[in-house]
Amino acid sequence: MPLYTISTKRPLLDSDQQALVSAITEAHCSITGAPAQFVQVVFSRGVRLRSRNIVHILGSIRSGRSDKIKSELASAFVNSASQILCCPRSRCSVDLVDVPASWVIEGGAVMPEPGQEQEWLARQPG
């Protein structure tokens, strides 16, 4: 958690996929303060996207993030996708969905609420 699904009509180059994973992870961590190990990114290709979109990013993030944080995340993702895929920002879209932390299990333990990550990590084995 969070889980970001990047959907495209056509397959992406491996280098573009890695660049998107790095950009999304960096943005999520710097904006929310969450550890990088929480961020999961998957790719879905051959997807019929709305309108003239080239890429759509769907993020399932823990509930409790402010509208300001969600806006910053969406903007960072659009900027990164536009740069990496060399396409106009208007052809990139982002949707973020709030998911209660209590609905997610990571490494066999229920995820912490935003801001409680360090205490949660300290309690995890290994």
From the CA atom positions of the chain, what is the Rg in Å?
15
Assign 105 a pLDDT band (cuts: 50, 70, 90).
confident
Q: φ and ψ at 114, to 5 degrees?
A: -55, 135
Instruction: Name the percent of the chain lying above pLDDT 90.
Output: 75
CATH code, 3-123:
3.30.429.10
Split at pLDDT 50, 70, 90, the class of 118 is confident
Is residue 125's pLDDT more than 90? no
Question: pLDDT by residue (tens digit) across 60-97?
Answer: 999 999 999 999 999 999 999 999 999 999 999 999 99
| Residue from 38, 42, 59, 58 nearest 114 by CA | 38
